[in-house]
Amino acid sequence: MAELTLTGVCKSFGTVDVIRDIDLQIEDGEFVVFVGPSGCGKSTLLRCIAGLEDISAGTLEIGGTRMNDVPAAKRGVAMVFQSYALYPHLRVRENMGFGLKVRKVAKPEIERRVDEAAQTLKLESLLDRFPRELSGGQRQRVAIGRAIVGNPEVFMFDEPLSNLDAELRVHMRAEISGLHKRLGNTMIYVTHDQIEAMTLADKIVVLRDGRVEQVGTPRELYYSPANAFVAQFIGSPKMNMFDVDGLPADILNTARPSPDAVRVGLRPEDIRVLSAGDGPITARVLTNEYTGAGSLLHLDLDSLGPCLALYSGGDAPEAGTTVSIGFEEGSLYWFDQDLQCMGGRPQV
């Protein structure tokens, strides 16, 4: 069993607190993604779990065993980094089996494990190539294969797709997701890209300034964010935020859950762009960013200020056009003075 339990985990570098009192439960076989902005501590937390950094305070358990003082090599984990870190003078087969060779595993067993991993990752035809003869995606698959052959209980990925182009990132996301379904191991994945988090995770851990802001499934975080930070971080483009005083009186009087609600959120995908005068709020189009299937409109709302709206189709209004916007009252998110969410849209 490879469940992980973090209790009061902290990590400091001198006087700088990077990880602050984190409690987290990761179940056996889960695919968990740590997500957050640069500098939030997600990679440091991963390295603490892997044993590459010492834990300053708190307890880490893997499979019910305390791991604080256990060396990284004996924790039953394998890391895949942003850098492929392949030996350029070794062929793919040798790169994948190098760790086993160092541990003095018998050669027939090394060959068996490498062949099995190569079959899982569709690398059979590449085993006799050097890293310089591979594409970026193929090199990353070799790095993953090197982790697989060690039969770890926990796989850890530290922004493994950051060096790949957009098309290849999409392809590799699908490959990693498929790998998890085939192997069933516990996987922990670090990224700053919330699209990667949403598409890969069974459970997402949102971090900010070394603290956990919220833990939940992608749908839970999208529909029921704990606060404005999570609401704006999860979802692309990010949620619009306004002062409630700018809302039309009829919406404010009927939809506002409490007088304590001082901010309101509205996702770009929930906005309907209408002809001028056909909606409750007038807006001016500042910029039309054509995306092929539609457009991302940058709007200036008369009573609320800047706003982003997604527009489907090819007939989006051009910059300088006056329009109206509409939305369902149930699509509004309400936040109190501390920016804690007071209510969001129901899950569908």
Mean pLDDT of the chain: 91
pTM of the model: 0.90
> What pLDDT was estimated at residue 346?
59
**Residue 1's pLDDT is what?**
57
CB-based contacts of 295, cutoff 8 Å, min separation 6: 288, 289, 310, 311, 316
The 10s digit of each residue's pLDDT in 205-242 is 999 999 999 999 999 999 999 999 999 999 989 999 99
244-259 pLDDT, tens digit per residue, is 999 999 888 888 999 9
Segments of the chain scoring below 70 in pLDDT: 1, 344-348
